[in-house]
A and B are shown apart, each in its own frame.
Chain A
Amino acid sequence: MTHHLRFRPLWPTALLPLAAATALLAAPAHADTGKLLLTGGVSTVEGAAGGGISPWAVIGSQATEGETGGSAFVSRAVTRDYGLTTVGAAVGIDDRVELSIAQQDFNTGVTGTLLGLPGLHLKQHIVGAKWRVAGDAILDSDTLMPQIAVGVQFKQLQSSGLDATLQALGAKRSGADFYVSATKLFLAQGVLVNGTLRATRANQNGLLGHGATLGGADRGYALQPEISVAYLLSPKVAVGFEYRAMPNKLQRAGAAAGLGDGLRADDWKDIFIAWAPSKNVSLTAAYVDLGRIVPATTGGRKQTGVYLSAQLAF
């Protein structure tokens, strides 16, 4: 779980999207797409362009107005008890519309083992769409007007040994997040700021389903804020942090199941560095703190760890 930062990546496991991106890179028709370096963001763990854990109002890929581009990424996060590998791709059209897909593979580690499901991996598909509704995050440096986009992410958790548990808690295996993002580059200062408000009922990003009903817990949507701040150190390097508030709908259901606070969730945070060695490649590394994730089986440990992501964009 995890992930962070901006830049869209590619990693050892993302061979397929990478190959596709490489093939497209080789196509002369795409050689001249023209976003400025790093202004398309990187790939989030959910596939949308943005930081690592929060979507931004930018439209992914190197394509700007009148162009169509794409990106592919691979990312890997490892925390004290868990691991998350994500591969995905996005298409940016006319710097207006972004369509994205991501597949997450979450290694439940000790939690799976203690549930009698050793080796349990949770796999989730995410399909996203984003529409830029106003503004120009980069060039309108004489106003405070940010770039604004709205987006949706449909999440589907594949069937697994955890199905019965989720059902008992009243958590659904599919759900949708809706968000609005505002992104502004303060060009003279070299600082990029994004704020996102997300309507969601996803537990741990949907990896533990959506909502809960056991014990009177609720399945309703909650509005969660997210903030990203990045400082440009050079044309090719940015550093920053992110904060993503998370719903905590499983805690009450967990208590009703006799687990006390064993299912509580915390907000996600990261600090990152992103490097774009060229217009088409970006690499991101981050230190992440995802708070507690199923503390019942992990001794209440905070899930801190590292995140790496690589992206090809054209």
Chain B
Amino acid sequence: MKHLITAATFALLGLTSAIAQPMAAPAMPLAVTPASAYPMAPAAGLYQAFGEQAGIRALMDDFVQRLRADRRIGDQFKETQLDQLASQLSDQVCQLSGGPCVYKGPDMKEAHANMDVTRSHFNALVEVLQTSMSARGIPFTRQNQLLAVLAPMHRDVVNTR
């Protein structure tokens, strides 16, 4: 038992930056844009689990309203066209979750260039999205599967440290 534990521990500790690799080979090119690639293959059936285009759009309409109302980050969306934001987010989530859409908006770095986004802001946004998903009745496991394809964006979105 101890040898097994030791081996497992060494294996885990061996996952250093030198071997950091995509966890899953992309099943298809999922790059949001050439400048911002998040090569995560979505979990099987993820797009369907979110109700396809209509369900995703309804989720995003709810999400952007909650974003603006959030006391931590709402100010950052004061002058945002919420309709347009919801539309772009819907395309993005649709594409990343395995749907037939193509996101045509700016890449994540560009999209946040005129905002100061901290890690704390990013986490707040994730929490708002979790709230929206729960409000829409998305199961927890499906929520995490979507977050898994979105989370790597923190590397481009967080621009203020």
Contacts and interface: CB of A to CB of B under 8 A. Distances in A.
Whether both chains belong to one complex is answered with yes
Interface of A: 32-37, 64-67, 95, 134-136, 138-146, 148, 180, 182, 184, 187-190, 193-197, 225-227, 232-235, 243, 245, 267
Given A143-B22, A188-B145, A193 B72 contact: no
A118 B69 CA distance: 61
Contacts of B11: 195
A302 B12 CA distance: 30
Contacts of B16: 134, 145, 148
B118 A227 contact: no
19 contacts: A33-B120, A34-B119, A34-B120, A36-B127, A64-B120, A64-B123, A66-B118, A67-B120, A141-B148, A141-B151, A142-B40, A142-B152, A182-B15, A187-B151, A190-B141, A194-B12, A225-B5, A226-B9, A245-B5
Contacts of B39: 142
A185 to B, nearest CB: 9
A184 B21 CA distance: 14
A235 B130 contact: yes
Question: Can you list the 3 inter-chain pairs with the closest CB atoms, starting with the nearest?
Answer: A34-B120, A195-B12, A145-B20
Given A139-B122, A145-B17, 13 more contacts: A65-B158, A141-B40, A141-B149, A145-B15, A145-B16, A145-B19, A187-B147, A194-B12, A195-B10, A232-B144, A233-B140, A243-B5, A245-B2
Given A142-B22, A144-B23, A188-B43, A225 B9 contact: yes
A244 to B, nearest CB: 9
Contacts of A34: 72, 119-121, 123-124
A197 B124 CA distance: 33
Interface string B121-151: 1111011001000100000110011011101
A33 B120 CA distance: 7
Main secondary structure of the interface of B (DSSP, over half): helix
B17 to A, nearest CB: 6
Nearest to A32: B72
Contacts of B13: 148, 180, 182, 195, 197
A65 B120 contact: yes
B123 A36 contact: yes
A142 B72 contact: no
Contact of B17 (A32, A135, A193, A194): A135
A79 to B, nearest CB: 20
B116 to A, nearest CB: 11
A34 B118 CA distance: 10
A233 B122 CA distance: 23
B68 interface: no
Contacts of A197: 9-10, 13
Nearest to A138: B151
Contact of B21 (A37, A143, A187): A143
A146 B12 contact: yes
Contacts of B81: none
Contact of A245 (B6, B19, B130): B6
